[in-house]
Structure 1
Amino acid sequence: MTDLVIRNATVVTCDPAGTVIADGGVAVRDGRIEQVAASVELEAAAAGARRLVDGKGHILMPGLINTHCHAGDSLFRGLVEDLPLEPWLQTVWKAEGAILNPETCYLGSVLGFAELLLSGVTTVMDMFWYPEETVRAARTVGMRVSTGGIFFDPPGVTGDNLKGRIAAAERFFEMFSDAEDVFPAVLPHGAYTVAPENLKTAKQLAERHGALFSTHAAETRAEQADVTGRYGRSVIRHLDDLGLLDERTLLAHCVHLDDEEIQILARTGATAVHNPVSNLKLASGFARVPEMLAAGVRVTLGTDGAISGNDLDMWMALRLAATLHKAVTGKADAVSTAQALAMMTSAGAEALGAAGRIGSLEAGKLADMILIDVKRPHAVPMFDPVTHLVYSTARSDVRHVFLSGEQVVRDGALTRHAIGQTIEAVERLKPRIAASIA
């Protein structure tokens, strides 16, 4: 028996053909989509379905995919302002060292994931301390997460040395390698905080477990100068020389690349994760997204952490990704609506090695879906739903979210977790957070 039918919606499938159904929906069985069709073609499935949802006045599309985040840093939202990345990081690390432990990492991650889920994000790649707590937080609200062992040469929050970091990463694989809602990864912080041999160790660990590999790369000119000064080559060339770049590698930021470095990404199949909000706010620069797309580099979208961008709004990131580069290049067609939308749907799924499971509404895929209200003044008239999604949609327009067919957001509210208790706990922690950098 069909478990769920959603019909009477405008369906933006985000499939390879860019299929849009003016009046359609989906049928779901056992957590997967069994049919995507016009509403009239869903009548048989609807007749015997356990649950019917009327999508009239809504766009139905796949859940969003955020490929770079530090959700736990939501605890420090707005704490450190008006600094470029390097001095900003020193203050951030001071606050993290004073506040973070497994309990507070879980608390901050629940807060961040709730914000993401309410805006329609159903999968996130998250780099943070105590990744098992990250998974617990994602499950608390109802999301999929890609995370895993952190590599960082200084002691950091956990106080581990290299041996301890390897052991922690191995434990993570033991715990979650078979979990459907987890995409295991190894996440070294960056080429300027992790030595070459340790980066190679992290990559070898990821390869041994068939896992993803993600790191910050070429975010600022200072980082480029640091890495070049130490190793005689730029960040991307350094990572390539170490054998770290392939189709399972996600590189956050990629702001400062020359033509040859863009070709390296295209040749190796590595993903560039665009984070326009934090790149703007930290004055890091403008990533060469149109050039990367033209070269065949996979470009995905991330929010970074709320400590650097002050929120986790993928819709703002999407609109900036679609508009920013038009002004930078002087070309109104620098990034198309289809390219921008793919960054947070199908391309994100490909980067996570999950194109067969998520990222589009197609039969056989997991029923991760969102319904977006288009009955509001800023949505009328709507001539093209894809254009509306890219340029007009706000996160408050997301009304309902489904994970494997389970409704995890209903009428703009979480169904699994009472977020008020999390907010109260964060408010109680606020004096300690403020004092951490005093």
Structure 2
Amino acid sequence: MTDLVITNATVVTCDAMGTVIADGGLMVDNGRIERIALSADLEAAAASARRVIDGTGYILMPGLINTHCHAADSLFRGLVEDLPLEPWLQTVWKAEGAILNPETCRLGSVLGFAELLLSGVTTVMDMFWYPSETVKAARQVGMRVSTGGIFFDPPGVTGHDLEGRIAEAEQFFEEFGAAEDVFPAVLPHGAYTVAPENLKAAKEIADRHGALFSTHAAETRAEQADITGRYGRSVIRHLDHLGLLDERTVLAHCVHLDDEEIDILARTGATAVHNPMSNLKLASGFARVPEMLAAGVRVTLGTDGAISGNDLDMWMALRLAATLHKAVSAKADAVSTAQALAMMTSAGAAALNAGDRIGSLEPGKLADMVLVDVKRPHAVPMFDPITHLVYSTAKSDVRHVFVGGEQVVRDGVLTRHAIEETIEDVELLTPKIAASIA
């Protein structure tokens, strides 16, 4: 007996062929997609399934993948405004140092992950202190997470030296290396906060475990000037020189790249994570996304933290990724709808070395999926569902979310966690957060 059958939906698979089924659905058994077909071909399975969902008026699509986030920084949403990255970071780090500990990191992560999951994000790559607390928070709401040990040369929130950072990274693999809901990683903050030898130490750990490696890269002109002044090479050339770039490397931002640096990313297979909302708000600049795509660089999407974009809205990131570059390049076809949608689905999965499990609706893959309401005034008429997803969909249109076949959002409400408790705890902490930068 099949666990779940969804019928009568517009199915946007996000597979390599861009398959769309106008009146279709799928079967789920043991947390994985068993079959995708026309609704008429699923009638027999529906008759005996444990649960059947009528998808009339919905787009059924894979869960969204956010490849760069600092979810716990949701605690500081709107706290630091109208500053460029470098002075902005100094204020952010002051607030984090005063507020963050394992308990508050978990609290902020639950808040951020709840926002993401309610908007259809089922997997997130998250860089933050106390990564084991990050995993606990993700499990509390019911989503997958890629995270791991942080490398940062100053003491930071945890006060670790290099040996402490290495120990934390190794401990993370011992604890979560075999977990299906965790994609382990090592995450040094950036080339301007982590010395070359420490970046290499972080990558050695990632390589030894066959894991992901993620860092901020080429976010601002000031960062480029700083790294070039220190090492005689730009950020991407510096990372390449250190042997840090390969197909398991995920680089957040990549705003300021020249042609050769784009070619380096293409040659090495490293991923560039586009964070358009954060880049706009911090006046960091416009990433050369069309040029990266043309060169064969894998480009994915991220929200960054809510402290730099004020929310964690992947639908906003999607629409910006599809539109910004048209204006910057004066080319209306600079980024296609299919390319933009892939950034937060199939490309995101490939960046996490998980394209065989998530990122598209295909038989055998994990049943991470979203039902998007298209019965609303802004959703009709709908001539092309992919165009609708890219240009018209809002996060509030996400009504139902499944992770591994489990419904973790039902009618816009989390099923695993009462978010009101988290909101109350955050509001109680708010005066202390405000005082941290006074």
Category of TM-score, reference length = shorter chain = over 0.9
Query: What corresponds to 1:328 in structure 2?
Result: 328
Superposed CA offset, 1:21-61 (max 9, x none): 00001100000000011101111211110000010000000
- The structural deviation recorded for 1:432 is 0.4
Superposed CA offset, 1:60-81 (max 9, x none): 0000000000000000000000
C-alpha distance in 2 between matches for 1:195 and 1:374? 50
Name the amino acid aligned to 1:120. Answer: G
C-alpha distance in 2 between matches for 1:216 and 1:93? 16
- Does the residue aligned with 1:125 lie in a helix, a strand or coil? strand
Superposed CA offset, 1:355-398 (max 9, x none): 00000000000000000000000000000000000000000000
Query: What corresponds to 1:361 in structure 2?
Result: 361
Query: What corresponds to 1:245 in structure 2?
Result: 245
Query: What corresponds to 1:313 in structure 2?
Result: 313
Matches within 5 A, 1:14-33: 14-33=14-33
- The structural deviation recorded for 1:216 is 0.1
C-alpha distance in 2 between matches for 1:86 and 1:37? 51
Name the amino acid aligned to 2:340. Answer: A
C-alpha distance in 1 between matches for 2:109 and 2:313? 15
- Does the residue aligned with 1:299 lie in a helix, a strand or coil? strand
C-alpha distance in 2 between matches for 1:302 and 1:216? 12
- Does the residue aligned with 2:165 lie in a helix, a strand or coil? helix
Superposed CA offset, 1:376-423 (max 9, x none): 000000000000000000000000000011000000000000000000
Query: What corresponds to 1:130 in structure 2?
Result: 130
Name the amino acid aligned to 2:372. Answer: I
Query: What corresponds to 2:154 in structure 1?
Result: 154
C-alpha distance in 2 between matches for 1:15 and 1:365? 11
Matches within 5 A, 1:427-438: 427-438=427-438
- The structural deviation recorded for 1:148 is 0.1
- Does the residue aligned with 2:184 lie in a helix, a strand or coil? strand
Superposed CA offset, 1:118-168 (max 9, x none): 000000000000000000000000000000000000000000000000000
Q: Give yes or no for the alignment of 1:293 onto 2:279.
A: no
Matches within 5 A, 1:216-235: 216-235=216-235
- Does the residue aligned with 1:67 lie in a helix, a strand or coil? strand
Name the amino acid aligned to 2:95. Answer: A
C-alpha distance in 2 between matches for 1:262 and 1:15? 26
- Does the residue aligned with 1:68 lie in a helix, a strand or coil? strand
- The structural deviation recorded for 1:304 is 0.1
C-alpha distance in 2 between matches for 1:271 and 1:307? 24
Query: What corresponds to 2:83 in structure 1?
Result: 83
Query: What corresponds to 1:36 in structure 2?
Result: 36
C-alpha distance in 2 between matches for 1:5 and 1:297? 37
Q: Give yes or no for the alignment of 1:114 onto 2:100.
A: no
- The structural deviation recorded for 1:298 is 0.1
Q: TM-score, normalised by structure 2?
A: 1.00
C-alpha distance in 2 between matches for 1:299 and 1:346? 10
C-alpha distance in 2 between matches for 1:228 and 1:47? 65
Query: Structure 2: any 5+ residue segments left out of the alignment?
Result: none
Superposed CA offset, 1:267-312 (max 9, x none): 0000000000000000000000000000000000000000000000
Query: What corresponds to 1:400 in structure 2?
Result: 400
Query: What corresponds to 2:56 in structure 1?
Result: 56
C-alpha distance in 2 between matches for 1:81 and 1:129? 23
Query: What corresponds to 1:374 in structure 2?
Result: 374
- Does the residue aligned with 1:43 lie in a helix, a strand or coil? helix
The alignment covers a number of residue pairs equal to 438
C-alpha distance in 2 between matches for 1:45 and 1:105? 44
Name the amino acid aligned to 1:103. Answer: E
Query: What corresponds to 2:171 in structure 1?
Result: 171
Superposed CA offset, 1:188-214 (max 9, x none): 000000000000000000000111000
Superposed CA offset, 1:159-193 (max 9, x none): 00000000000010000000000000000000000
- Does the residue aligned with 2:183 lie in a helix, a strand or coil? strand
C-alpha distance in 1 between matches for 2:374 and 2:25? 16
Query: What corresponds to 2:201 in structure 1?
Result: 201
Name the amino acid aligned to 2:411. Answer: D
Superposed CA offset, 1:77-101 (max 9, x none): 0000000000000000000000000
- Does the residue aligned with 1:53 lie in a helix, a strand or coil? strand
- Does the residue aligned with 2:25 lie in a helix, a strand or coil? strand
Name the amino acid aligned to 1:296. Answer: G
- Does the residue aligned with 2:311 lie in a helix, a strand or coil? coil
CA-based RMSD: 0.3
Query: What corresponds to 1:272 in structure 2?
Result: 272
Name the amino acid aligned to 1:126. Answer: D
Query: Structure 1: any 5+ residue segments left out of the alignment?
Result: none
C-alpha distance in 1 between matches for 2:373 and 2:43? 23
- Does the residue aligned with 1:52 lie in a helix, a strand or coil? strand
C-alpha distance in 2 between matches for 1:386 and 1:147? 30
C-alpha distance in 2 between matches for 1:176 and 1:54? 36
Query: What corresponds to 2:343 in structure 1?
Result: 343
Runs of 4+ residues over 4 Å off in structure 1: none
Name the amino acid aligned to 2:92. Answer: V
- Does the residue aligned with 1:320 lie in a helix, a strand or coil? helix
- Does the residue aligned with 1:183 lie in a helix, a strand or coil? coil
- Does the residue aligned with 1:182 lie in a helix, a strand or coil? coil
Query: What corresponds to 2:260 in structure 1?
Result: 260
- Does the residue aligned with 1:317 lie in a helix, a strand or coil? helix
Query: What corresponds to 2:189 in structure 1?
Result: 189
Name the amino acid aligned to 1:210. Answer: G
Percent identity, aligned pairs only, is 87
